[in-house]
Structures are given as C-alpha cells and as structure tokens.
Structure 1
Amino acid sequence: MPDRIVVENAAIATVDAHDTEIDSGHVVVEGRRIVAVGPGPATVTGDASTRWVDGTGHVLTPGLVNTHHHFYQWLTRGLAPDAILFDWLVALYPTWSRIDEDSVHAAARGSIAALLLSGCTTTADHHYVFPRDGGDVFAATVRAASELGVRLHAARGSMDLGESAGGLPPDYAVESIDGILAATAQAIEDHHDPAPEAMTRVAVAPCSPFSVTSDLLRESAALARSHRVRLHTHGSETAEEEQYCLEHFGMRPTDYLDGLGWLGADVWMAHCVHMNDADIERFAATGTGVAHCPSSNARLGVGIAPLPEMLTAGVPVGLGVDGAASNESGRLAPEVRAALLFARARRGPSALTSRQALRLATMGGASVLGRAEEIGSIEPGKLADFAVWRVDGVEHSSIGDPVAALALGAPPALSMLVCNGRVVVEDDVLLTSDVEAIARAAREQSRRLLDAS
C-alpha cells in the first residue's frame, strides 16, 4: 500500500464532535493514520510513495461500522421467508447444525465482501452455532476477515439451553456450559488484540434469553470482565421473547439481563425493539449500547425499535445488518436509509435527520464497539478507515446536500474504501479477493449444506 494517500477536492462529512463538514477539502493519510483534514488543497509535497486522489464530485465519510451480523447465515438466505423469529429459528436450526469450517469460511467471505462493497470497514460477527464435528468455525471467520481486509469484532456466541430444558434450540445444537466457557477463553487467547490499531477483537456473546441459562449469562459476564473484553447478546427483539421472559423469569428481558450483570458500558445488545421508557432509561444510565437492525426487524415483522427515544435519552446506538438469512441484502449502507425512514414512520419527519443517520453508521457504531477513540470520524490521529462516495452521477447529481444523498438516496457508487490505510475497494471492485470466486464457493457450500439437511 502507498506510504501516503492524499484525497483532495472532496466534500467531507467528518462526523466529529461538532459535525464539521467541508464543501471541498482534503484528507491526508500516512501509514495507518489520518494526519491532516481541512478545506482546500493539501499542503504536502508528494513523492513516488504518495497516491493522489481527485475527490471532485464525491463525498468522503468515515468507513461504516456494522455492530451486529451472523456471517454463517449467508448460506441460508431466502429460507422461511414469511415466518416470525421463533418459527424462523426452529426452521433453520437443523441446517445450521451442519455447518463446518469450510462452509463458515465461504459464508464469512461472502458476508464480508458484501459489507466492504457497501462502505463498511468495521464489522461485528456473532457466531453461536458450534457443531461437535465442525472444526474451528470461529477461526474460519477470523481468517476470512484477515484475507479480505475488514476490521473484525468476533463475538464468540453460545447456546446451552436446549429444547428439553425449556429453551428454543434443539438439544443437538447446544453446548455444555463448561465447554462454552473453556472455548470462549481460548478464542480470546488466540484471537483478541487489545491494541488501538487492532484488526481483530473478541467479545463474549451468549445468544439470547431463550437459548442460554442464567448460569451461562452470569459466568460469561465474569469471564469477559476478567479478560477485559466486551459482552454482546440479543435483547428485547420480539414480543415472543418478552412473553418467554415473563413466563420463565417473571420479568421482562431488560430486568432479567440487568439482574445477571448484563447492563454496562462494556455491553451492547442487538435489536432492542420492545423497549419501554424504563428500559431505555436503564440503558442510558449504564451506557449499554444497542445494535439497531431496521431491515432485519422489518423482514421478520418484529416491529420498529424506539430509536429517537433511545438517542434522546443518550443510549449509544449503532447500526447492524443482522444475519443475511434475515436481511438478504447483507449490505450496511442501505441500513442508513432504513433507519432514517423507519424512525420517521414512527415519529414524524423530525424524528431523525440525515446527519444523525450517518452518525449511527459511523461514530455511533464505533462507540457501541468501544472504538470511538480510534475510528468512526475523520480527524487527525484516527485510524485511516474511510469511504469516498460518488455523488455526481445520474442518481445523485441533483441532490444538493451530499449527506442527504447518502442517507435519503440510493447507495452511491463506492469509488474508494480504505481500511487501516489499505485500499480495499476501488470503483466498486473488491481488490482483496475475486468476488466471482467468493460467489462460487458460497454457492457450492450452500448447496452442500442444504442437500445434507
């Protein structure tokens, strides 16, 4: 990669603390870091190791941050298309229980390619299915992320509450609590990098209140905090989940998880659709983060999360694609528009602005993942994760506001995506791998998996 990248003549949405925007300016990258941002041309002199990029007709933003996904589900898209969440899970558990290292590697590469091509430079992946003879599926995901060049927060998920004990997943799809804790500790030791420039970090992530025991939740929280890593789970996703918690624990999901040590600034939860005012206040008071997944929530018909209320209360919120089997697009950029439109559908046209929607996808996500000091905005000293979007084409040239073009218009062409100072996408082409080979491998592994099921 070049020692220095200089982008000039671009509109810049920095998403810094002041929402600074520059009509025509420059960004200078040296190595892995942004070293200069400002209006007009850059004041550097280039040499053979400098790459100059003309950003005329483009808007430069931070790289997008995906706070919730299930990469392995790339192989099972389009199944149970009209089911509610619980029925959808029951339909897909038998197929997911047959995944292995090869299929997960192919699925992760497909998922990551779609994310990169939609401007995403950092992603979380929540993997919670570990067949006994499947090999090291967690390592397969980490390897795929390294190959394609995305920044990964790998959440080692788990399920220990099978159907015979009152849980939703079949008994053959769950692990023992001792096995889970040992494997999770090993995943942290093998893959977690606490350094500021880390490309891979690990989180501890029991799946959901209806698929794990209270003991696992409690001990997982202790394990994560002893290793100083973050905690992740699903919470308050559906009305059925709320009813399950009321029947089994005598309380709603937020109260149940709070009692087990699962609220705090080191925790983020996916969905949080069925939250009342008390839940939101508790999340805000504890700094608990939310991965808002508007398209997946709509696909499964679970409802629309109270996003404006959460933001007003001060809850950290980022965006998530969620599993590609419940959001077949698999792209993060469309979630900016979905979040904006769904918030307004609930609360009117002033519920969320274009700039707030972009912040959700950038600094919001960085905060949720504990990376606000390193990524999420365009500022000197931050890691060089950014996207350069073309907004002078036929679909966007008449939208005078480039941020509105991103948030309200169709996803623009991606002229350049830089992650950790490395150009990984250029002119809508993935540079780090052959997308046709990725598609072919995913298709073959999907057919093998479905045939075996």
Structure 2
Amino acid sequence: MASLLIRDLDTVVTCDDADSVLRHVDLYCEDGRIRAIGPDLAVQADEVLDGSHLLCYPGLINTHHHLYQQFSRNLPEVQNLELFPWLKALYEIWKNLDTEVVHASSLTGMGELMKNGCTTCFDHHYVFPVGCGDLLGAQFAAADELGMRMVASRGSMDLSVKDGGLPPDSVVQSVDAILEDSAALIERWHDPSYGSMRQIALAPCSPFSVSRELLLQSAKLARQYHVRLHTHLAETKDEERYTLDRYGLRPLAYLESLGWVGPDVWFAHGIHFTDAELDLLAETGTGVAHCPVSNMKLSSGVARIPEMLQRGIHVGLAVDGSASQDGSDLLEEIRICYLLHRLHCSAAAPSGYDVLKLATRGSASLLGREDIGCLAVGKCADLFLVDSRRLELVGACYDPKNVFGTVGLRAPVDYTVVNGCITVAHGKLTGIDEAKTAENARHVCDRYLGKN
C-alpha cells in the first residue's frame, strides 16, 4: 500500500486521551496506519502534501444513517409529518427499492459524507422488498468505489400493517428468513480485524415494526457471531405508547427484557429516557447515536445529551436518514448539535470540541472500534484537512478545537484521507467522477420516484 506524508501541518487536533493539539508537525502514513507524528520526520513517501496551512482532524464517524433515503428527501407531501405518519407515507416509496437504487443512493450519500470529513459510515438498512437483490453487496460496492470505511447492517422488519406494525406486507420477512440471511451476510462480509474496512451489525428496525421473537433471536445470533446490535429506541412518545399498550413496558424496559442492553448495543435517537433509564444505560455500557437534525425535523424532541455525558454514557453523532435530515453532512450535525444544547442547557451544554469528540471518539466507541476516532501512532490513517486560509475561516482558527461547533464549515473539506489513501482532494472525490455519478443517480432517482 502507498505511503503518505503530510509535511509541517499547521495544527493537528488529535482527540486523543490528553486532548493534544500539535503545531507544525509532520504526519506519516503507511499501509493504512499512522506510523509517525512529529516535527521534521526523516522519512520519504510515495505522496507528499504541504500541510503548512492545513488544520488536521480525525475522520468523522457516522453512527446511524439510512442511505437509501437519499432519493426520498425534500418531498413536499411529508414535510410537516411526525414519525409514524411520515413512515407510513414513505414506505409506499421505499417498497420499490432495488440494487440500482441502493447503489446510487449509497454513492451519493456516502460521497457527501466523505466530502465533509466523514471516513466511516454505519448504515441502518432494514427495507428488503421481495426480489430486491443483493442490497448490502450494492452498498459495499459503493463504499469500495469511494474508499469509505463502512459498517453495514442487516436490518429487518417482520410486523406489517396487518400485524399492528407500520410497513406494508411487501417489505417484511419471516423471522427464519431474516436470521438465515443475517448469518450468511455476517459470514460473507464481516471482518473483525484491526483496520477493517467492512463490518456487519444486526439491526432490527424498531419496537413497532419488529416482533419480540425477532429481537430475541437477533440478539442471540449477534452474540454467537460477536457482532454488534442496533435499533431505533425512545425516539417518540408514539413509540412509548405503543410498547406500553402492547407489552406493558416502556421501550427500554421492553428491550432490556430481551437482552438488548450491554456494551455491544447502541440505540439511535434515545430522546425519551427517564433518569432511571439513563442510569441503566450507564451501568450496562449501552450507547446512544445522537441525531439532532432529524430529531428537530420530525419534532421528536431533544435528547438529554449533557446528562448522558455526565453519567459516562457512550454517545456518538449521526446524520440519520437523508429523508429526515435532508442531507448527509456530519460537520453540519456538529454545529447544530452544539447550538441545540446551548439553547436548552446553557453552560451545561457540551462545547464545540466535546461535540467533535462525539463524532470521533464517541462514535468509534459505539461501533466497538479502537482503531479509529483519534490521531495517534498505530491508529488507522483516517483524517480530514481544512485550509486555515479560507475566507470564511478568517479570525476563526485561533481555537481549532471548537471551530466546527461554533463557526462550522459551509463547504467541502480540502482533503479526506481514509486508510492512508486520499479520497477527497481540493474538495472533490477522487474515486469517482462526480458529474457522471450525479447524472446517473438523477436518472435512477427519476425512475424510482416515477418522474420519467
């Protein structure tokens, strides 16, 4: 594998245990790892970048997405709906998913993430229409083209409208079919090794679209194969009413009764937790993927992130599905997260740097990864670089740790590096032709939405 040397970096915000900020250092990458950081390194490399005006950060890690939703965003008929009616309306579109749609939407969604400094993406895919083809294979192919480090999920639903759930019959499957496919996909794709580019998690969709049996058996299968567990939880009051009416338990208590707590479990959203439930998350090491933009878009509520962090709960950051975020920009999520909690919690809110760490160290912890999330010798060479001389950053770079929370960045980063390879250069993706990819994606989206 090629080597990369970035000379005389202006600033390196490492997000390491000591919260180190390094000035005027070189960073050397070889075989996908950071091999050295320091001034005037006596090394040669296949590729050398001048870092004298560049700010360097760990690659961002997105811990909850639905990439297929890239082609069902900004639809006027669902703009003012909350989660349950929003889902019912959109399932009528999503039931037409196929490999072409999933590949094109994954390319565009992950491409946008990568242009904004994201180097690892977890995607929660749970819609598998009859005859849809190899959807996870299509996602991994897109990740390979971009150079993205990807964790895909074998999501699932087995409760349709006739069973008291929300999705139509055509996108649910039997428990046996789901478990059989889950095992096959883990055996095919999951790589648990240090520096892995491909991993699998098991991710039944939600308590209101999945049966008790599917949740129970998915947890058993995940632990048999040593993969992680993920689902939506405590997102809305409607969900809370659903589990109380159907099972006599609040959402977290219901999941706990089925083995769904522990350091190998993380929940998306986690808005409506009580004090006792937050204590349980902390005691069991169960994590939360925070999705501030989506939570606001769907009027779901404000997650208790300051209190979670005070308790030591593992929290990561995520953009959620493109239909509820209307984009795939984790840098934007950092700033909105910072501002949202400043509004609600004032001085108790996390700082801009705290939120950056949620999107790096915190997100890595949710995925069970110790090889990504900070910049240190031996870690994966995943990072992004921003030119401090940009007009929009004049006067903003004296505090490089907090700048993305307080000021933000409303344009692509200058460089993104994944596994030691430059995947974004001068704000453009290097692995694909952006114009051709966008043109093809528009045709696929038009066909999918019936706009031809």
Q: Same fold (TM over 0.5)?
A: yes
Which residue matches 2:400? Answer: 402
Code of the residue aligned with 1:75 in structure 2: it is F
Q: Is the 8 A contact 1:236 1:253 kept in 2?
A: yes
Which residue of 2 is the match for residue 171 of structure 1?
169
Conserved in 1, the CA contact under 8 Å of 2:7 and 2:52?
no
Match of 1:444 in 2: 443
Structure 2: gaps (5+ residues): none
Match 2:64 to one of 56, 63, 68: 68
Contact 1:158 1:206 (C-alpha < 8 Å) held by counterparts: yes
Q: State the distance in 1 between where 2:356 and 2:371 align.
A: 18
- Give the superposition deviation at 1:50: 3.6
Q: Given residue 211 of structure 1, which amino acid in structure 2 is its aligned partner?
A: S
* Match of residue 387 from structure 2: 390
Counterpart-to-counterpart distance in 2, 1:146 and 1:438: 14
Distance 1:95 1:24, change over 3 A: same
Q: Percent identity?
A: 43
- Matched with 1:243 is 241
Q: CA deviation at 1:452?
A: 8.3
CA RMSD across the alignment: 1.4
Give the equivalent residue in structure 1 for 2:12. Answer: 12
Q: Distance in 2 between matches of 1:413 and 1:127?
A: 26
| TM-score, scaled relative to structure 2 | 0.96
Distance 2:278 2:440 in 1: 43
Which AA in structure 2 matches 1:398?
Answer: G
Deviations 1:25-47 (A, max 9, x none): 22221221101223xx332132x
Q: Deviations over 1:36-71 (max 9, x none)?
A: 223xx332132xx44222222321010000000001
Q: Distance in 1 between the 2:412 and 2:185 partners?
A: 37
Aligned to 1:57: 53
Q: Measure, in 2, the Cα distance between the counterparts of 1:76 and 1:42.
A: 50
Mapping 1:342-353, distance limit 5 Å: 342-353=340-351
Q: Is contact 2:159–2:172 with CA below 8 Å preserved after alignment?
A: yes
> What is the CA–CA distance in structure 1 between the aligned matches of 2:168 and 2:130, rounded to whole Å?
14
1:173-224 CA-to-partner distances (Å, cap 9, x unmatched) read 2111111101111111111111112100000000000000000000000000
Match of 2:420 in 1: 421
1:377 has 2:351 as partner: no
Maintained 8 Å contact 1:158/1:207: yes
Q: CA deviation at 1:413?
A: 4.6
8 Å Cα contact 1:395/1:409 also seen in 2? no
In structure 1, the gaps of 5 or more residues are none
CA contact (8 A) 2:331 2:408 kept: no
- Tell me the amino acid that sits aligned with residue 338 of structure 2: L
- What amino acid is aligned across from residue 6 of structure 2 in structure 1? V
Q: CA deviation at 1:134?
A: 1.2
Output the CA distance in 2 between the equivalents of 1:305 and 1:290: 10
The correspondence for 1:331, drawn from 329, 332, 343, is 329
Residue by residue over 1:130-180, the C-alpha shift from the partner in whole angstroms, topping out at 9 and shown as x without a partner, is: 111111112111111111110001011000011111112122221111111
| 1:108 Cα deviation from its structure 2 partner | 0.7
1:227-376 matched pairs, under 5 angstroms:
227-371=225-369, 373-376=370-373
* 218, 221, 224: which one aligns with 1:223: 221
Within 5 A, what are the aligned runs for 1:186-197? 186-197=184-195
What does residue 43 of structure 1 align with?
Answer: 41
Superimposed CA distance per residue, residues 302-359 of structure 1 (whole angstroms, 9 cap, x where no aligned partner)? 1111000111111111111111011112111111111111111111134111210110
Q: Is the 8 A contact 1:27 1:42 kept in 2?
A: no
Residue range with higher mean Cα deviation, 339-348 or 405-414: 405-414
Q: Distance in 2 between matches of 1:59 and 1:9?
A: 7
C-alpha separation between the residues in 1 aligned to 2:46 and 2:313? Answer: 41
CA distance in 2, matches of 1:435, 1:234: 32
- Does the CA contact (< 8 Å) of 1:291 and 1:320 recur in 2? yes
CA distance in 2, matches of 1:84, 1:154: 26
Quick check: 2:322–2:328 contact (8 Å CA) kept in 1? yes
Is the CA contact (8 Å cut-off) linking 1:10 and 1:26 kept in structure 2?
no
- Amino acid across the alignment from 2:145: E
* Cα distance in 2 between the residues matched to 1:262 and 1:57: 47
1:136 corresponding residue in structure 2:
134
1:98-137 to structure 2, matched below 5 A, reads: 98-137=96-135
| 1:264-305 residue CA offsets vs partner (Å, 9 max, x unmatched) | 100111000111111111111111111101011111111111
Provide the C-alpha distance between the structure 2 equivalents of 1:312 and 1:3, rounded to a whole number of angstroms: 40
- Seen in structure 2, the aligned counterparts of structure 1 residues 56 and 167 have a Cα distance that, compared at 3 Å, is same
How many Å apart are 1:78 and its aligned residue?
1.1
* Residue identity in the other structure for 1:59: L
- For residues 440 and 73 of structure 1, the distance between their equivalents in structure 2, rounded to whole angstroms, comes to 18
Distance apart, 1:363 and its partner CA: 0.7
User: CA separation in 1, counterparts of 2:66 and 2:378?
Assistant: 31
Distance 1:135 1:9 in 2: 46
For residues 102 and 412 of structure 2, what CA distance do their matches in structure 1 show?
29
Q: Deviation at 1:421? A: 0.8
Asked whether the 8 Å contact 1:390–1:413 carries over to 2, the reply is: no
Pair 1:349–1:57, CA change in 2 (3 A)? farther
**In the alignment, is the contact (CA less than 8 A) between 2:115 and 2:412 conserved in 1?**
no
* Farther off after superposition, 340-349 or 425-434: 340-349
The superposition leaves residues 418-439 of structure 1 with CA deviations (integer Å, 9 ceiling, x where unpaired) of: 1001100011010000111221
Alpha-carbon distance change, 452 to 440 in structure 1, aligned in 2, over 3 angstroms: closer
- Matched residue, 1:25: 25
**Secondary structure, aligned partner of 1:326:** helix
